[in-house]
Structure formats: structure tokens, C-alpha cells
Amino acid sequence: MTDTLAPPNPRRFTALDVFRGLTIFLMILVNTAGPGAPAYPTLVHAKWFGFTMADAIFPSFLFAMGNAMSFASRRRIDTAPYLARLFKRGAIIFALGFLMYWFPFVARGEAGWAPIPFTLTRVPGVLQRLALCYVAAGLLVRWLGARQILIASALLLLGYWAMLVFLSPPGMAYDKFGTIGTRLDLWLFGPGHLYKKDGGFDPEGLLGTLPAIVNVLAGYLAGLAVQRGGDLSRTTRTMAVIGVALIVAGLAWSPWFPLAKKLWTGSYVLLTIGIDCVALAAIIALVEITGVRRGTRFFIILGRNPLAIYLFSELFVTAINMIDTGPDGGLYGWIGIELFQRIAPGAFGSLLCALAYTMLCWSVGWWMDRKGLILKA
């Protein structure tokens, strides 16, 4: 079967690139908080239940990936080449994520530098979840219509809820270490291959990938609606209304299925999709309908090379922290404490450090854009 959802006469929207670039900007800002002082609470992920601005960023990246998928689907490709490309890209993204966590492949110990063993390398992760969601969503949108995608999304959310409730030990459905998701990860990967900073719980575990697929599917449907809609203003208003309704639905569901990014609960999925719909509608209204272009290039530069810039942001900060500077730890720690905490002590100094590093990553994107370099999986 060919692409059943390929829209007629699609057009490229600058707003979608701006949305993706804004997501990358915030992702780097949150991931590289300056050391020496706690960051602002809204820039820190909720410890378990709850929701902060930082918790909205990863789902937005999935939503943006779905947007991009809706544009790619306008080209009709035979099934065999489509599947080959889908699985190849998924495998490359997964491998990049795995190697990113293994980097720098060596660690300093009492006896000096030694290779980091494979048995201590994390398998799940951010790019790994992106890869799995990309492949799963790509399979679904290939053979399902819009209404069927909505049904599949509901089944994924409700099915995940049921698995947590009925497959976890009694009273452990939402327990960090007792839930079926953690038990599955420990059985499948072992503690050495899981996240090291949360006591054996991995926030990007395998089971939590199921509801995350819905964020991609929602982005796909949103992108499709924008391309198919005859009246962009009406489409944007509808998207905003749907977004508000999803936010309300997510909050209404949360007493029974708590908001939790680390569990990627269904209420969290509805809330974040709602936020993304409202945000995308606002950007479209500003950029496409009102015609505001000033400042958009800043985010477009990030949106054109999201994979390259994200990888650089994670690898470079790891590399410079290998430079030992004494009690402050690595070089990034020294910069954050000795420079930014002296300029502005506390959370503001932490934010300034993160902002400076984010602008460094942006400059890499700017250089790549000037050279016409686009990194694609």
C-alpha cells in the first residue's frame, strides 16, 4: 500500500522549523545547567510525580519529529524501500544514542585511564527512544488512516495504563522500582546497562516507549492538518482549541494516572501534546499568518540540524569535563563555578552558564548552516 495519508499539494511551513529549533534550544539549556548552584525549579525535571517546563521539552521533540514525518510522507515510495529506509534511520539514531552514552569510551580511575566496559554502558536513552518511536510511528502512518491512528493512540495509552496497573505487583503500579516497566528493564538489560543516576530506574525504559509513540503520531496529524487545511487561520484556531482540550483532559486524568515524565504516563502525554498544539498554533499564527519573520532565523538554524547540534551539545560538555581542574571537577564545572557563579551567584548564574553553552552550540549550527551542511541519519 502506498502512503494513505500523503496530502495533496503540501507546502513547507517556516513555523515548523521554528518550533523544532525552539525545542532544541530549550533542551540544551535544561541539559547543561551551570554547576555551583541549583537551577531554577522550572528548568529541572520533576523528581517523580509533577510537571515543570523542563518536562515539556522531550515530548516536544517527539512531536516535532512527527511533524517532519508528515512532510516526508508526501513522496510516494514503494513499501520495500520505505521499510528499508525507516529501519536504517532508526538503527542509525539508536546507535548514535548508544555511542553517545559510551563516549568518551575511557574513564579515569585510581590506576589512570582505562576503557569503559560495554557491560557498564547505558542501552536505553533519549535518542534510543526517539529511534524506537520513529520506527513504530513510521509503520503505523504507512498503513493507517487518520481515524485509525487516533484509535491506535488511544489503545497505546490505555494499554500502557492497564499494563502498569495489572502487571505490576499490587500497589506498585507507580512505584519507581516496583513498576512492571522497571522490572522489565532490569530483566532485559540488567542494572549495568541502565541509567546510573536514579538508583537503577531508567526514565527512558522500554515499556514507557509505548505511550511516547503517541506524541509522534500527534505531531504527524498536526503537520498533516496544517498541510491539508485550506484556511490556515481556521486550522490554527482548531489546533489551539484541540490543544486546550487535551491539556484539560490530561489534568482531569491525572488523579487516576498521575503526571510523571519518568513514567511517561497517559495524562502526561495528553498534557504535553496539548501544550505542543497550542505552541505550534501560536507560532503559525505569528510567522505564517501575521508574517513576522524577524528573529525566526535564530531558531531555524537550530531546527535544520537538530541531530548534529544535540549530539555536539552532549559530547562536547562531556569532553571538556575530562579536563581536570581540581576541586571544581572538569572544565565545565570550573567555568560554571569560578566564572558564572562569581558574576551572578545562585540560580541566575547557573542559567547564564547554560545560556552561554547553548549559544556556543547555536554557533556550531550557524557555521553548519553557512556551509550548507545538514546531518541526516
Q: Are 247 and 241 in contact (CB under 8 A)?
A: no
Q: Which pLDDT score, from 0 to 100, does residue 371 have? A: 86
DSSP string over 283-342: HHIIIIIS---TTHHHHHHHHHSHHHHHHHHHHHHHHHTTS--STT-SHHHHIIIIIIHH
C-alpha span between 126 and 303 (Å, rounded): 18
Which range has the worst mean pLDDT, 50-64, 68-82, 116-130, 193-207?
68-82
Q: Which pLDDT score, from 0 to 100, does residue 72 have? A: 74
Q: Are 271 and 250 in contact (CB under 8 A)?
A: yes
Query: What grid cell was written down for 50?
Result: 509533577
One-letter amino acid at 324 equals: D
Predicted structure pTM score: 0.91
Residue 73's pLDDT band, with cuts at 50, 70 and 90, is low
C-alpha span between 131 and 134 (Å, rounded): 5
User: What percent of the chain stands above pLDDT 90?
Assistant: 67
Residue 12's pLDDT band, with cuts at 50, 70 and 90, is low
Within 8 A by CB and 6+ apart from 206, the residues are 124, 181, 184, 185, 188
Residue 75's pLDDT band, with cuts at 50, 70 and 90, is low
Within 8 A by CB and 6+ apart from 343, the residues are 349, 352
Q: Are 13 and 284 in contact (CB under 8 A)?
A: yes
- The yes-or-no verdict on residue 10 having pLDDT over 60 is no
C-alpha span between 21 and 305 (Å, rounded): 9
Q: Which pLDDT score, from 0 to 100, does residue 197 have? A: 83
Over range 212-218, report the average pLDDT.
97
- The answer, yes or no, to whether the previous bond of 345 is cis (omega within 30 of 0) is no
- The yes-or-no verdict on residue 336 having pLDDT over 60 is yes
Over range 109-116, report the average pLDDT.
77
- Describe the crossing of helices 14-31 and 306-320 by its angle, rounded to 10 degrees: 10
C-alpha span between 180 and 208 (Å, rounded): 10
C-alpha span between 63 and 69 (Å, rounded): 10
CA dihedral (188, 192, 195, 197) in degrees, to 10, reads 150
C-alpha span between 62 and 141 (Å, rounded): 15
**Helix, strand, or coil here: 90?**
helix
- Output the average pLDDT for the chain: 89
Over range 312-335, report the average pLDDT.
88
Residue 5's pLDDT band, with cuts at 50, 70 and 90, is very low
**To which H or E segment does residue 131 belong?**
helix 126-143
Q: Which pLDDT score, from 0 to 100, does residue 288 have? A: 85
